[in-house]
Structure 1
Amino acid sequence: MLIYGESTRWTPAEDRYERMPYRNLGDSGLKLPVISLGLWHNFGDDAPLQTQKEILRKAFDLGVTHFDLANNYGPPNGSAELNFGRILREDFAGLRQELVISSKAGWDMWPGPYGFGGSRKYLVDSLDQSLERMGLDRVDIFYHHRPDPETPLEETMRALDHIVRSGRASYVGISSYSADLTARAQQIMRGLGTPLVIHQPSYSMLNRWIEKPSSNSMGPAHGRNLVQTLTDQGMGSIVFTPLAQGMLTDKYLDGVPEDSRAAASKSLNPEWLTEQNIEHIRELNKIAESRGQSLAQMAIAWTLREQDGGQVTSALVGASKASQIVNSVEAVQSLEFSQAELEQINELAVDAGVNIWAKATESTD
């Protein structure tokens, strides 16, 4: 139950675990909800704290037990973790054991040569700061946020191994690594005795890079795509931007609204809204309507479908108000697709040039 107002006390819904499917994270014993909540936008100092509380409360009421953060989420950097830590203390006291909390480091965080990348110094220092901001002694999952061509892969993986062994994180993973680099990283981690359990790639109907086979048939991934490689390596996955920064919603079917991300250039480049892309989105919307779903719900469900060689574990969604997380979670009511629907979608779900993380995945192959 969601009770609005600072002076009221919130009590979680008793049926929260009946509303959400959970999937094992690769070969590990950890389960994630098929829909997780990301705090990338909307949890910085530019968003009302009460609204943030309402989103987190509603998400948990719906069975969303996984909250995903990073050191530089805001704005400003670090503010999302500070705000989340306060809400955790005020609203989720006594519920820590029911939550999966993740954070990441890799992108720019503070000035100078030690505030980004994949060095042991940066990763350990950054996580220590994240824990302090959130008021935690450990996170459940800690990721290296992106490949770093200037740091030996062995150093980055040894840092992740140290982070687990020191008690700072229960599990570790990577984000935006290519299939070959993922296989190499997992080989190192298995040798250290701390296997990677999760990969966080960008993925949507308009950004399908994880389905593309590795160009190097002799590489560690043996020419298989990232989805297949994760299955081979016993890893799960959580995909971010399943709505392509909001393109896969009904917001842009008739132009660019003044209050949209595209209008604000916050994370959606207006140049992506080409006539061809908009036409594909309109046709995808028709398929969603025939399924009794919104376009956003179908887009989320599609990322969670079974694929050749594997399946995504969880889709990471954002929300600027509680009603948006309600809409996203309703996607779990229809996760199955007919072969005819998949074929229709496949004709329309083509690359739209929205993968701004592409250079990170290619930089160290």
Structure 2
Amino acid sequence: MPYIANQERYQRMTYNRCGDSGLLLPAISLGLYRNFGEDTPYQRAKDILLTAFDNGITHFDLANNYGEPNGSAETLFGQILRKELATYRDEMIIATKAGYDMWPGPYGDGGSRKYMLASLDQSLHRLGLDYVDIYYSHRYDPDTPLEETVSALDTAVKQGKALYAGVSNYPADIMEEVIALFKQYRTPFVVHQVQYSMFLREPEKRLFPLLEKEGLGAIVYQPLFQGLLSTKYQDGIPEDSRIAQNVDSISSDQITHDRIAKVQQLKEIADNRGQSVPQLAIAWVLKRKSVSSALIGVRNVEQLIENMKTVENLSFTNEEGQAINSILT
């Protein structure tokens, strides 16, 4: 039978405006950085994507190099999109990025016009789409003039291959120049994607205030700090964890006694709120004014459902906020 989406899906999710733009994003978005690739069972990937959409997750975040091998996440997502979700394309925000090493030679990495536009064409081919909703420069490339990278994103929009432009992982100290260039080109630049969590709060210092001032949104990734903001490391490193298997961007030495103790204290607050620690951590990043959406990555439907329950309790009392800050500082 053809897939028919749950009719109550939009009542199950909270949607936030992305900065001052007209774009609404689900409070929780699905990132396909891991767990989507050539070796991923099709049925498992399909179940995750359809469950997400049935619960109001409309934003799916990809990049040219996601999956193993590079590009396989886009290919798998494209297959499921064509077979199951094609009739719902206009209800979805599909994003991709370019910036990191993708193919051999001098034109397969960085922020050059050559790389950015060639990579987008490749991504569209893998996805089976005429356009993506958001196209990002995945990283700041100090060897390429900012104007060249911004110009490439502007061209992608003007060619109709992207509806909005974004940047990811750009340092705060160059963002004013980036914003000025996008304004010069009159490009619909709406979002900065950045790592942010209870254990990584650097964006609060300069980036978030600037985004709020300029009317831009933030999509934050790794709100669980690669799983450290959960209770799974309370008794050591599980053998089946990504850290144990050396497939994460953090290492075992980041699982400190101090962080374990903080998670234990956070669990008391989460318990009183009727939440798990991951749900508390996701809700916490979403309370920041500039944060439009939190990206989650999951291995299975059970993890997805657990994280989506976050939207059932997104508000914090003053006492809860003060208690959390006292734990984190």
User: Which TM-score applies when normalising by structure 2?
Assistant: 0.97
2:229 corresponds to which residue? 248
CA contact (8 A) 2:3 2:85 kept: no
Residue pairs, 1:144-293, within 5 angstroms: 144-212=137-205, 225-267=206-248, 268-293=250-275
1:185-211: CA deviations, max 9, x gaps? 111111111141000000000010101
- Cα distance per residue 1:94-148 (max 9 Å; x no partner): 1100100000000111122111111000000001000000000000000000111
Structure 2: which amino acid aligns with 1:67?
F
User: Any unmatched runs of 5+ in structure 2?
Assistant: none
Partner residue of 1:5?
Answer: none
Q: Read off the aligned partner of 1:117 and give its amino acid letter.
A: G
Q: Percentage identity across aligned positions?
A: 51
1:325 corresponds to which of 292, 304, 319:
304
User: Which residue is equivalent to 1:354?
Assistant: none
Alignment of 1:346-357 (within 5 A): 346-349=325-328
Which amino acid is 1:345 matched to?
Answer: I
Residue 68 of structure 2: aligned partner: 75
Counterpart code for 2:328? A
Q: How far off is 1:347 after superposition?
A: 2.6
- Inter-partner Cα distance in structure 2 for 1:71 and 1:348: 38
TM-score by length of 1: 0.88
For residues 240-270 of structure 1, the C-alpha deviation after alignment (integer angstroms, 9 at most, x for no partner) is: 0001011111211221111111111211411
Aligned pair 1:342/2:325, yes or no?
no
* Equivalent position amino acid for 2:296 in 1: V
Matched position secondary structure for 1:210 = helix
Q: Give, in angstroms, the shift of residue 180 of structure 1.
A: 2.9
- Tell whether the 8 Å contact from 1:139 to 1:170 is kept in structure 2 after alignment: yes
Q: Is residue 183–residue 233 contact of structure 1 (8 Å, CA) maintained in 2? A: no
Structure 1 counterpart of 2:136, which letter? Y
- Output the CA distance in 2 between the equivalents of 1:72 and 1:346: 36
Residues 27-38 of structure 1 correspond to what in structure 2 (within 5 A)? Answer: 27-38=20-31
* Superposition deviation, residue 335 in structure 1: 0.6
How far apart are the structure 1 equivalents of 2:101 and 2:54?
Answer: 34
Residue type of the alignment partner of 2:52: A
SS at match of 1:261: coil
Given that 2:216 and 2:290 are in contact with CA atoms closer than 8 Å, whether structure 1 keeps it comes out as: no
How many equivalent residue pairs? 328
Question: Partners of 1:25 and 1:311 in 2: how far apart?
Answer: 8
Counterparts of 2:89 and 2:53 in 1: how far apart (Å)?
12
Aligned AA for 1:152? P
Task: Indicate if the aligned counterparts of 1:246 and 1:261 stay in contact, CA closer than 8 A.
Answer: no
Q: Distance in 2 between matches of 1:9 and 1:349?
A: 48
The answer as to 2:284 corresponding to 1:302 is yes
**1:322 positional shift:** 0.8
Q: Which residue of 2 aligns with 1:142?
A: 135
Residues of 2 paired with 1:129 and 1:348: CA distance? 46
Q: Is the 8 A contact 2:19 2:290 kept in 1?
A: no
In structure 2, C-alpha distance between the alignment counterparts of 1:44 and 1:56, rounded to whole Å: 14
* Residues 62-101 of structure 1: pairs in structure 2 closer than 5 A: 62-101=55-94
Distance in structure 2 (CA, Å) of the matches to 1:26 and 1:80: 28
Please say if residues 106 and 144 of structure 1, whose CA atoms lie closer than 8 Å, have aligned partners that are also in contact.
yes
For 1:131 and 1:257, locate their aligned partners in 2 and report how far apart those are by CA, in whole Å. 38
CA distance in 1 between counterparts of 2:243 and 2:127 reads 31
- Per-residue CA shift, 1:24-82, capped at 9, x if unaligned? 11121111001000000001123211100000000001100000000000011000000
Q: Output the CA distance in 2 between the equivalents of 1:283 and 1:111.
A: 48
Of 274-283 and 193-202, the range deviating more from structure 2: 274-283
